[in-house]
């Protein structure tokens, strides 16, 4: 008893694999699940090579773990988290640590942080990215909570995390719900990049009429380039290569009715609360919602017609332009998410270091990409950089890929193909680089119909005009 280094509640896919990962790094790990089958399955999988004990008994589970106890919850977000905490509390002592490793909305983490702090229990909200394989062999982890209590967790987390250049993809991020918030924005960026890739795929297929082999090999080749090498590009190449039982491409038999779990929506909603523009992420959320209108789209396709003009395609030039557009838009999407983190850190007193965030995201997580090293360097050079687009190196790369991006978007418009992610990325870029926006007219309109006042560029103060009818 009291000999185990770490405990996990919830032995589903993520919990089981994280427990095995921990044990593989020579830590003794205890598991708790109310499902006897999951407990027995884990014990069998662990075998004699891992120091693992799993149980269905809460009291016994808690007694296994050395003090101060470190216990991670890997249960569905919402009420199951509160229920798990309630079942543990009678058996815990002051100084023990509970970590929520699920995709929990950050305000719930703030509430639990305060409630448990009052009882002398440390609470962490920790985003984990990398899926089943990452959990087993090295995820990216984003912990937030009490910094002193993190020292109890550090050796285990650094051992099991993914590594890039020998550096673990985990580090203490900040106060309260900082970890859950960073994971939420990570997922928002993930939504954006997935949308962009799908639009480029659609333009290749329906726009430029490229054959399936060319499309698949293009993504495969792009993943070998410094600019686009990333996990999501990598798996796209693999997905497009997969064959169904009859030998045809599996991708062509998959429904376009996309699902979501809500983290992208949370990112958009909170960005609006903070008044931080993230239009590419917004577009990605909207297009998943649009995918659910399938019956209406089938009918609309026969009524909302656009006569596409004849086109002569130079395949080499088209692929080069598509590559530019994808790279450009992916960088802009990261910039939007990181700008949201910059503002949220100040609003919620997280104390985030965005160089650290970029460093964690370089490996293990779904949005890992070569480009994150450029972002890390940008934030290392200027710690309080409000937006990646202001970094000279990033700005130069965007400028170089501007022409191809504009050409691809013009082509999409001419072909009548939806490209909301690409278009919103370019619109964001053009708005951000505009010293003057036409919102002076909006100021005047608001004052005209609602006496909401406005500011002037030639005088200080707040003004109202009695507009002539």
Delineate the domains of the chain, giving CATH numbers in brackets. 6-172 (3.40.50.720), 182-433 (1.10.1040.10), 439-468 (1.20.5.320)
CA angle at 124 for the pair 119 and 129, rounded to the nearest 5°: 160
User: 47 pLDDT band (50/70/90 cuts)?
Assistant: confident
- Give the model's pLDDT for residue 45: 79
- Annotated binding-site residue? 112: no
- 261-313 per-position pLDDT tens digit: 778 999 999 999 999 999 999 999 999 999 999 999 999 999 999 998 777 78
- Annotated binding-site residue? 186: yes
- Annotated binding-site residue? 129: yes
Residue 183 designated active-site: yes
The residues facing 167 across adjacent strands are 164
- Which is the catalytic residue, given 38, 171, 183, 323? 183
- 134-155 per-position pLDDT tens digit: 999 999 999 999 999 999 999 9
Helices (H), 101-247: 106-117, 131-137, 147-160, 178-202, 212-222, 231-239
The CA radius of gyration of the chain, in Å to the nearest whole number, is 25
Structural tokens at position 314 = 């130079």
Give percent of the chain with pLDDT exceeding 70: 100
Cis peptide before 118 (omega within 30 of 0): no
Q: Is the pLDDT of residue 214 over 80?
A: yes
Q: Is the pLDDT of residue 49 over 90?
A: no
- Give the model's pLDDT for residue 382: 96
Q: Is the pLDDT of residue 112 over 80?
A: yes
User: 164 pLDDT band (50/70/90 cuts)?
Assistant: very high
Helices (H) and strands (E) counted in the chain, each on its own, are 20, 9
* 450 membership: H or E segment, kind and range: helix 439-450
- Annotated binding-site residue? 25: no
Q: What whole-number distance in Å separates Cα of residue 165 and Cα of residue 369?
A: 14
Output the average pLDDT for the chain.
95
- Give the model's pLDDT for residue 313: 82
- Give the model's pLDDT for residue 469: 76
- Annotated binding-site residue? 103: yes
- Which is the catalytic residue, given 53, 171, 190, 199? 190
More confident residue, 420 or 42: 420
- Annotated binding-site residue? 425: no
Q: Is the pLDDT of residue 48 over 80?
A: no
- Annotated binding-site residue? 191: yes
- 412-446 per-position pLDDT tens digit: 999 999 999 999 999 999 999 999 999 999 999 99
3-state SS, residue 230: strand
3-state SS, residue 7: strand
Name residue, tokens 């899926």.
131
CA angle at 287 for the pair 284 and 292, rounded to the nearest 5°: 140
Q: Is the pLDDT of residue 50 over 80?
A: no
* 427 membership: H or E segment, kind and range: helix 420-432
- Give the model's pLDDT for residue 20: 93
Backbone dihedral angles phi then psi of residue 97, each to the nearest 5 degrees? -125, 130
């Amino acid at each position: 008893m009291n000999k185990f280094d770490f405990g996990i509640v919830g032995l589903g896919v993520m919990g089981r694999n994280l427990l095995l990962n921990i044990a593989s790094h020579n830590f003794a790990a205890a598991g708790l699940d109310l499902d006897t089958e999951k407990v027995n399955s884990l014990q069998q999988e662990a075998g004699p090579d891992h120091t693992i004990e799993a149980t269905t008994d809460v009291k016994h589970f808690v007694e296994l773990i050395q003090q101060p106890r470190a216990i991670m919850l890997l249960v569905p977000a919402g009420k199951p988290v509160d229920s798990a905490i309630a079942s543990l509390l009678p058996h815990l002592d002051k100084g023990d640590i509970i970590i929520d490793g699920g995709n929990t909305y950050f305000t719930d983490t703030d509430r639990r942080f305060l409630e448990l702090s009052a009882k002398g229990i440390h609470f962490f909200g920790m985003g984990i990215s990398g899926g089943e394989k990452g959990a087993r062999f090295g995820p990216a982890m984003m912990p937030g909570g009490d910094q002193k209590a993190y020292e109890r967790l550090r050796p285990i987390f650094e051992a099991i995390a993914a590594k890039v250049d020998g550096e673990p993809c985990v580090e203490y991020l900040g106060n309260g719900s900082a970890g859950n918030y960073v994971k939420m924005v990570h997922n928002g960026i993930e939504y954006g990049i997935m949308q962009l890739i799908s639009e480029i795929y659609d333009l290749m297929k329906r726009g430029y009429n490229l054959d399936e082999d060319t499309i698949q090999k293009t993504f495969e080749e792009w993943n070998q380039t410094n600019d686009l090498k990333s996990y999501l590009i990598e798996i796209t190449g693999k997905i497009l290569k997969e064959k169904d039982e009859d030998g045809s491409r599996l991708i062509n038999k998959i429904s376009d009715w996309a699902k979501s779990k809500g983290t992208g929506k949370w990112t958009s909603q909170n960005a609006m609360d903070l008044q931080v523009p993230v239009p590419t992420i917004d577009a990605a959320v909207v297009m998943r919602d649009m995918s659910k209108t399938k019956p209406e789209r089938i009918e609309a396709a026969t009524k909302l017609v656009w006569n596409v003009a004849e086109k002569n395609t130079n395949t080499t030039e088209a692929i080069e332009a598509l590559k530019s557009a994808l790279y450009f838009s992916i960088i802009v999407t990261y910039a939007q998410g990181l700008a949201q983190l910059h503002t949220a850190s100040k609003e919620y007193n997280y104390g985030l270091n965005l160089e650290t965030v970029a460093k964690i995201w370089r490996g293990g997580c779904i949005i890992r990409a070569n480009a994150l090293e450029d972002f890390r360097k940008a934030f290392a050079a200027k710690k309080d950089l409000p937006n990646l687009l202001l970094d000279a190196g990033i700005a130069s790369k965007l400028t170089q890929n501007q022409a191809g991006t504009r050409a691809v978007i013009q082509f999409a418009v001419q072909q009548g193909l939806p490209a909301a992610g690409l278009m919103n990325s370019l619109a964001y870029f053009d708005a951000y680089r505009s010293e003057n926006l036409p919102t002076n007219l909006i100021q005047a309109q608001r004052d005209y119909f609602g006496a909401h006042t406005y500011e002037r560029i030639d005088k200080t103060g707040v003004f109202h005009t009695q507009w002539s009818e």
